[in-house]
């Protein structure tokens, strides 16, 4: 293990570590643009120059391996002058675009200019080389060649991660620019990452374009609800509107990437939301206060169980719900309603596209969790058969849809049930047929855990309280159970998770503290 | 130190002539007549301003109602950068940005509303603007209106001022 000193601090680092990575472990920041922890080292931005003792010239920290006894200085006058000089070069042809640039506020050039630059421009505005702006290069990306500092992160990403190589350098000297090959736009499902890794505003997101300024956004740590992979994300929102999802680093799951369809998952939290409890009286949906809605639903369920036996009630759970909510749903079905009909389906409407990287065919975030909690997938077809035969008198549906049934099929199926209750976030065929709708919070409006395809239990945090009159499903299920005489203690998701850890073998020994930010793998077969 | 006692001047006892008031009324009327005559002879010195026909000249740095500046072609100079609404302590500016039909402009405000009931006329929006698109040099106070909605100024109203 080589030992070296950086700014007088002595640090031990593993063999083969670069100065830049070693400095990070010592808590020293070295500015950089082209270096990215998940990409190969290019060494072309020259921002990370440091002074190494006995080296005649400054060295780039990103590509210099630490050797034993090395002495590095990052704060000497020589280094400061060099970094400011490099930054001045990078900014020579940069347009003064910040007011209309979506990157403003999280731009590498702005941040480092305030930290290392603060120089007067010595280059006349009219002498700047102009390049093509606002180019739609396919995928989710808009390219502005003028803003580019030619760090080549995007080129390396497309060569090393997706292997598609759509972007390349063209021209020479100060006319150098990145571009696609004529007539061959970006063609992969990971283009959104280009906007993330671009340190400046050259590659920006088409979807987020001009929607909101980044400094107005707040973030919540979350999990992408788009598929079973469970990519760690940061959900960015302003007030009650979600604006975008950005990947959060988790080397076990998604490294620093996420897919394009996943990036659009945020729309579910904004559009077609169910925001008030609804009771349908004589076919006319009417908004009802929570107390009345819960009481009338509980009464109808109790009535059915009393009149026709527990076998006349069925619960269709959904793998879109968190472990905590599914656990309570199972308890409601098993212990309170005592129905044998509890099942779920992982089938969803859509193409079920999957690849060998991040996108999984199963489009539910918590299928594995539902299985580990003992909710049966096999029983689902039974329940549907029973519903079609008219044996089910009351049906409690979790989620926006029923498996992969089309709207018309869902409507026909639910017409067989005298009383349908739905607990869901978005409108759909079920909410049009349901006799009572209990609106639940979206994934940024509540906390909980999802178990991904590999059995990794990962937390997501609440960003803001539920919109409208929606409530977290934990509250709704507890409210229903207590009105049916269960006498559950109402508590948050942390309390429910403690109960899961105590009674469910695969989750034994887990707690929110042990899950941390990155999650933990559940034991047992799923 | 002992508590100080403040001596308050009491009105002095009025003299016999004053208590009769007759002479005092004549004195008072004299002052009134003096002003009347002075205003008739030197009308330019009358301090009262006949608003709204006549308006007081505001000092050059007075912060009045906002206006949005135009480019030579008549489109708004504003590029919807949100700097003014970020700087605004009263949160009275609502902007919705959009893709401009002019590719050289790129970003323009689809909506730009100022809620004049919220505005505190601090001028921070003018300071924040990187494009000199918003100014407060109209010299007008907020006019009275009979509904709140009329005091939410839209982009068209602000461009006309």
One-letter-per-residue 3-state SS of B26-74: HHHHHHHHHHHHHHHHCHHHCCCCCCCCCCCCCCCCCCCCCEECECCCC
pLDDT tier at A525, thresholds 50, 70, 90 = very low
Distance from CA of A45 to the nearest CA of B (A): 28
Tokens, residue B40: 């008739």
pTM of the predicted structure, to 2 decimals: 0.89
pLDDT digits (tens, 9 = 90+) for A332-390: 999 999 999 999 999 988 888 999 999 999 999 999 999 999 998 999 999 999 999 99
Q: Does A134 touch chain B (CB under 8 A)?
A: yes
In the CATH hierarchy, which fold is given to the domain comprising A3-90? Ubiquitin-like (UB roll) (3.10.20)
User: Does residue A456 have a pLDDT over 70?
Assistant: yes
Q: Is A7 left (phi over 0), alpha (psi -120 to 50) or beta?
A: left
Q: For residue A287, which of A425, A430, A468 has the smallest C-alpha distance?
A: A468
User: Does residue A201 have a pLDDT over 80?
Assistant: yes
Q: Taking CB atoms and an 8 Å cut-off, how many pairs form between chains A and B?
A: 31
Domain boundaries, chain A: 3-90, 124-269, 278-521
In the CATH hierarchy, which fold is given to the domain comprising A278-521? Rossmann fold (3.40.50)
Q: Does A132 touch chain B (CB under 8 A)?
A: no
Closest chain A residue to B129 measured between Cα atoms? Answer: A99
Instruction: Kindly report the number of other CB atoms within 10 A of residue A116's CB atom.
Output: 17
* CA A56 to chain centroid: 47
A504-A506-A507 Cα angle (round to 5): 70
> What is d(CA A200, CA A234) in angstroms, rounded to the nearest whole number?
20
Domain boundaries, chain B: 16-45, 67-160
A99·B79 Cβ contact <8 A: yes
Percent of chain A whose pLDDT exceeds 70: 99
The complex's ipTM works out to 0.83
pLDDT digits (tens, 9 = 90+) for A302-340: 999 999 999 999 999 999 999 999 999 999 999 999 999
pLDDT digits (tens, 9 = 90+) for A55-88: 999 999 999 999 999 999 999 999 999 999 999 9
Among B88, B95, B99, B106, the residue to mutate for chain A (most A Cβ within 10 A): B106
Tokens, residue A238: 């302003």
**Cβ contacts (< 8 Å) between B79 and chain A: which residues?**
99-100
User: Does residue A524 have a pLDDT over 60?
Assistant: no
Q: For residue A20, which of A66, A55, A53, A52 has the smallest C-alpha distance?
A: A66
Instruction: Look up the CATH architecture of domain A124-269.
Output: 2-Layer Sandwich (3.30)
pLDDT digits (tens, 9 = 90+) for B30-78: 999 999 999 999 888 888 888 888 888 889 899 999 999 999 999 999 9
- Provide the pLDDT for residue B1: 57
B103·A133 Cβ contact <8 A: yes
Mean pLDDT, chain B, whole residue set: 92
In the CATH hierarchy, which fold is given to the domain comprising B67-160? Alpha-Beta Plaits (3.30.70)
- Provide the pLDDT for residue B134: 96
Among B77, B81, B93, the residue to mutate for chain A (most A Cβ within 10 A): B81
User: Does residue A523 have a pLDDT over 80?
Assistant: no
pLDDT, greater one: A525 or B123: B123
Contacts of A488 (CB under 8 A, 6+ apart): A478, A481, A482
Residue whose token pair is 């494009």? B131
User: Does residue A451 have a pLDDT over 90?
Assistant: yes
Closest chain B residue to A98 measured between Cα atoms? Answer: B81
Considering only CB atoms, A134 lies closest to which of B86, B97, B106, namely B106
Over residues B128-150, the mean pLDDT reads: 93
Tokens, residue A393: 């008198």
Decide whether A124-269 matches A278-521 in CATH topology.
no
A341-358 CB burial, b ≥16 within 10 A, e <16: bbbbbbbbeeeeeeeebb
A99·B106 Cβ contact <8 A: no
Percent of chain A whose pLDDT exceeds 90: 90
Q: Does A98 touch chain B (CB under 8 A)?
A: yes
pLDDT tier at A187, thresholds 50, 70, 90 = very high
Tokens, residue B133: 């698109």
- Provide the pLDDT for residue A526: 43
pLDDT digits (tens, 9 = 90+) for A486-500: 889 888 899 999 999
């Amino acid at each position: 293990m080589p030992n070296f000193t950086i700014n007088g601090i002595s640090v031990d680092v593993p063999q083969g570590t670069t100065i830049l990575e070693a400095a990070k472990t010592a808590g020293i920041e070295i500015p950089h643009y082209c270096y990215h922890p998940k990409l190969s080292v290019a060494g072309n931005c020259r921002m990370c120059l440091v002074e190494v003792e006995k080296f005649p010239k400054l060295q780039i920290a990103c590509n210099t391996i630490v050797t034993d006894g090395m002495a590095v200085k990052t704060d000497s006058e020589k280094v400061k002058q060099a970094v400011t000089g490099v930054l001045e070069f990078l900014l020579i042809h940069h347009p003064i675009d910040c007011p209309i640039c979506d990157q403003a506020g999280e731009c590498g050039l702005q941040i480092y200019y305030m930290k290392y630059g603060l120089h007067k421009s010595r280059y006349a505005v009219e002498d700047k080389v102009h390049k093509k702006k606002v180019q739609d290069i396919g995928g989710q990306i808009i390219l502005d060649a003028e803003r580019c500092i030619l760090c080549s992160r995007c080129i390396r990403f497309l060569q090393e991660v997706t292997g598609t190589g759509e972007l390349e350098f063209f021209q020479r000297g100060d006319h150098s620019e990145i571009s696609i090959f004529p007539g061959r736009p970006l063609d992969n499902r990971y283009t959104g990452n280009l906007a993330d890794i671009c340190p400046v505003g050259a590659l920006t997101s088409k979807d987020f374009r001009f929607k909101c300024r980044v400094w107005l956004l707040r973030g919540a740590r979350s999990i992408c609800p788009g598929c079973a992979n469970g990519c760690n994300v940061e959900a960015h929102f302003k007030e009650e509107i979600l604006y975008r999802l950005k990947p959060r680093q988790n080397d076990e799951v998604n490294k620093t990437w996420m897919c394009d369809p996943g990036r659009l998952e945020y729309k579910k939290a904004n559009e077609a939301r169910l925001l008030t409890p609804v009771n349908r009286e004589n076919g006319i949906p009417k908004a009802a206060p929570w107390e009345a809605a819960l009481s009338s639903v509980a009464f109808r369920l109790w009535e059915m169980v009393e009149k026709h036996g527990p076998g006349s009630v069925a619960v269709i759970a959904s793998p879109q719900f968190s472990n905590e909510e599914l656990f309570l749903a199972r308890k409601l079905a098993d212990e309170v309603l005592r129905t044998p009909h509890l099942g779920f389906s992982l089938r969803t409407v859509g193409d079920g596209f999957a690849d060998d990287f991040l996108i999984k065919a199963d489009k539910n975030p918590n299928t594995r969790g539902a299985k580990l909690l003992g909710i049966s997938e096999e029983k689902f077809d039974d329940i549907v058969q029973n519903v079609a035969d008219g044996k089910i008198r009351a049906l409690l549906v979790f989620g926006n849809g029923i498996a992969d049934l089309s709207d018309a099929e869902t409507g026909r199926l639910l017409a067989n049930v005298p009383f349908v209750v739905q607990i869901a976030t978005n409108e759909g065929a079920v909410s049009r047929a349901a006799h009572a709708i209990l609106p639940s919070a979206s994934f940024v409006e509540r906390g909980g855990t999802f178990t991904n395809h590999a059995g990794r239990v990962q937390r997501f945090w609440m960003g803001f309280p539920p919109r409208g009159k929606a409530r977290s499903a934990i509250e709704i299920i507890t409210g229903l159970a207590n009105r049916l005489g269960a006498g559950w203690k109402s508590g948050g998701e942390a309390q429910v998770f403690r109960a899961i850890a105590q009674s469910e073998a695969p989750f034994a020994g887990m707690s929110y503290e042990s899950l941390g930010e990155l999650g933990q793998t559940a034991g047992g077969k799923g | 130190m002992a508590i100080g006692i403040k001596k308050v001047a009491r009105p002095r006892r009025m003299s016999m002539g004053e208590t009769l008031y007759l002479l005092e009324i004549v004195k008072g009327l004299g002052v009134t007549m003096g002003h009347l005559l002075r205003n008739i002879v030197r009308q330019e010195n009358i301090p009262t301003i006949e608003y709204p026909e006549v308006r007081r000249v505001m000092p050059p740095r007075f912060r009045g109602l906002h206006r949005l500046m135009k480019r030579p072609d008549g489109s708004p100079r504003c590029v919807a950068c949100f700097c003014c609404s970020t700087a605004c302590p009263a949160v009275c500016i609502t902007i919705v940005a959009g893709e401009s039909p002019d590719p050289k402009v790129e970003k323009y405000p689809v909506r730009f509303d100022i809620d004049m009931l919220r505005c505190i006329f601090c001028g921070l929006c003018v300071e924040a603007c990187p494009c000199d698109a918003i100014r407060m040099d109209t010299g007008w106070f907020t006019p009275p209106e009979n509904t709140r909605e009329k005091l939410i100024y839209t982009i068209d109203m602000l461009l006309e001022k």
